[in-house]
């Protein structure tokens, strides 16, 4: 399997390289469209029928499209800017390899297997993560999704070339199980000495857009006492988020920021920053975000600035199907079961269909970075495991 993995992985290795390192594969951008063509070619090579759901999600079917009782696998092609190559594509490549392995094993599945390539999983382009699976399950309306804008003012509807179709009726009847394979975004499997694990849960998490407003003015001539500088309120809020998250055993990150007018010698009039907050349970997440926003507002009062906060997306706590996770761990010879604080389409689907995830060992635990990596042998073990699981579920 390792040689087969290397061959297939090489086919996509150069698509969407970010000149700064790693990959830039925004949803429905040129490199992602090339990957979608690659997906169609892979499906054709294997005689798998390809369907699209009108939301930007692609599916390759071994058996009748959309069931009944299909088993869905796959993942996503899109990346964060300057991201790794594994987060997403590993699940799709592994799914094609798993189909090959099942055919080599002489298996004829008793129910359809669908390989999904979900659109805009990272929310890197249009701001809402898992946009494709949210649309498919009805967790976001087509109207709201269509209007989401990228940094150049292009809407999701425009990029898609149509109004999204929205929820697929009868999803729970058409699909009996979902299994997404993903690189682990942490080091639990390294510590446990296991190449493959099974997911138990996803931390609840969300994104909040924070607009700090002040008075734009001359950096040289405005007395320090006369300033209403939103950058200071913003900086205070970043530190507050860090403190509050550490105290709560949670995670808070501010990693995207826009400044107006963004000039060295002008006090800003606007600082827009995005808070990414995650916690092990919903009450802790709610308390964390509330505390950060309270401190931001108090600081704005002291600085004579303003702050307005807009929630952009919320991904509720996910507890994957416990029986399914235990069953898959057993099938895989006692694979460890572990939680994660990263979001996935599988998490969105889990509200509708029994869902599981397989994680592949990541030696450094690094993800959303060019340094993200999994050894070929572990990727091969992951694809073998996925084949074994699909055989058992179909």
Residues of this chain that bind Mn ion (CB under 5 A):
87-88, 343
Report the alpha-carbon angle 55-25-60, nearest 5: 45
Phi and psi of 163, rounded to 5°? -75, 130
Structure tokens at 189: 């499997």
265 labeled binding residue: yes
Nearer to ligand GLV, 35 or 102 (CB): 35
Burial class (CB in 10 A: 0-12, 13-18, 19+), 97: buried
Min dist. Cβ of residue 107 to ligand GLV (A):
32
The closest of 307, 226, 322 to 273, measured between CA atoms, is 307
207 labeled binding residue: yes
Q: Residue 334 contacts by C-beta under 8 Å, 6 or more apart in sequence?
A: none
Nearer to Mn ion, 96 or 234 (CB): 96
CA atoms within 13 A on the CB side of 46: 26
186 binds ligand GLV (CB under 6 A): no
- CA dist 258 and 273 (Å) reads 6
- CA dist 342 and 63 (Å) reads 31
Interface pattern 74-113 for ligand GLV (x via CB under 6 A): ----------------------------------------
Nearer to ligand GLV, 78 or 229 (CB): 78
Collapsed DSSP state (helix, strand, coil) of residue 62: strand
Nearer to ligand GLV, 329 or 342 (CB): 342
122 binds ligand GLV (CB under 6 A): yes
Size, binding site for ligand GLV by CB under 6 A? 4
Min dist. Cβ of residue 359 to Mn ion (A):
11
Min dist. Cβ of residue 43 to Mn ion (A):
21
The closest of 263, 284, 279, 275 to 237, measured between CA atoms, is 275
342 binds ligand GLV (CB under 6 A): yes
Collapsed DSSP state (helix, strand, coil) of residue 347: helix
Min dist. Cβ of residue 121 to Mn ion (A):
5
- Binding site partner of 88, from ligand GLV, Mn ion, none, Cβ cut-off 5-8 A by kind: Mn ion
Phi and psi of 138, rounded to 5°? 85, 15
- Binding site partner of 150, from ligand GLV, Mn ion, none, Cβ cut-off 5-8 A by kind: none
The closest of 57, 203, 59 to 120, measured between CA atoms, is 57
127 binds ligand GLV (CB under 6 A): no
| Position with the least CB separation from Mn ion | 87
Nearer to ligand GLV, 80 or 387 (CB): 80
The 10 Å Cβ neighbour count of residue 183 is: 27
Min dist. Cβ of residue 105 to ligand GLV (A):
32
- CA dist 391 and 355 (Å) reads 16
Measured in residues, the chain has a length of 394
Nearer to ligand GLV, 105 or 151 (CB): 151
343 binds ligand GLV (CB under 6 A): yes
- CA dist 55 and 134 (Å) reads 10
Nearer to Mn ion, 201 or 240 (CB): 201
Query: Is the backbone peptide bond immediately before 388 cis, with ω within 30 degrees of 0?
Result: no
218 labeled binding residue: no
Taking CB under 6 A as the criterion, the residue among 31, 63, 114, 129 binding ligand GLV is 129
Specify binding-site residues. 76, 87, 122, 182, 207, 265, 278, 368
Give the binding site for ligand GLV (CB under 6 A): 122, 129, 342-343
> Would you list which residues are annotated within the binding site for allantoate?
207, 265, 278
Bind-site residues for Zn(2+):
76, 87, 122, 182, 368
């Amino acid at each position: 399997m390792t040689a087969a993995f290397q061959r297939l992985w090489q086919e996509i290795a150069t698509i969407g390289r970010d000149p700064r390192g790693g990959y830039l594969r925004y949803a429905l951008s040129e490199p992602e469209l090339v990957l979608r063509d690659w997906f169609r070619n892979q499906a054709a090579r294997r005689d798998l029928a390809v369907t699209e759901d009108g939301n930007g999600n692609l599916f390759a079917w071994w058996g009748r499209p959309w069931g009944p009782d299909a088993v869905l696998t796959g993942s996503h092609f899109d990346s964060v800017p300057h991201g790794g190559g594994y987060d997403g594509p590993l699940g799709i490549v592994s799914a094609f390899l798993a189909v090959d392995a099942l055919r080599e094993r002489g298996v004829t599945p008793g129910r359809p297997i669908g390989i999904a390539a979900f659109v805009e999983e990272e929310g890197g382009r249009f701001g809402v993560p898992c946009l494709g699976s949210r649309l498919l399950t009805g967790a976001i309306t087509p109207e709201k999704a269509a209007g989401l804008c990228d940094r150049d003012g292009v809407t999701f509807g425009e990029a898609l070339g149509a109004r999204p179709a929205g929820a697929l009726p009868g999803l729970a009847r058409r699909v009996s199980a979902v299994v997404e394979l993903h690189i682990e975004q942490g080091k639990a499997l390294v510590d446990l000495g296991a190449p493959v694990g099974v997911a138990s849960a996803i931390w609840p998490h969300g994104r909040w857009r924070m607009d700090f407003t002040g008075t734009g003015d001359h950096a040289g001539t405005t007395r320090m006492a006369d300033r209403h500088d939103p950058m200071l309120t913003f900086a205070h809020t970043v530190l507050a988020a860090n403190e509050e998250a550490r105290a709560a055993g949670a995670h808070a990150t501010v990693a995207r920021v826009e400044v107006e007018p963004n000039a060295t010698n002008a006090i800003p009039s606007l600082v827009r920053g995005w808070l990414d907050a995650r916690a092990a349970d919903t009450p802790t997440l709610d308390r964390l975000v509330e505390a950060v926003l309270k401190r931001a507002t108090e600081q704005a009062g002291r600085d004579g600035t303003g702050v307005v906060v807009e929630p952009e997306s919320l991904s509720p706590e996910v507890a994957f199907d416990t029986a399914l996770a235990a069953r898959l761990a057993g099938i895989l010879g006692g694979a460890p079961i572990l939680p994660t604080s990263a979001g996935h389409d599988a998490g969105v689907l889990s509200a509708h269909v029994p869902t599981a995830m397989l994680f592949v060992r990541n030696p450094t635990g690094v993800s959303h970075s060019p340094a993200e990596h999994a050894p070929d042998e572990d990727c091969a073990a992951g694809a073998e495991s996925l084949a074994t699981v699909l055989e058992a579920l179909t």
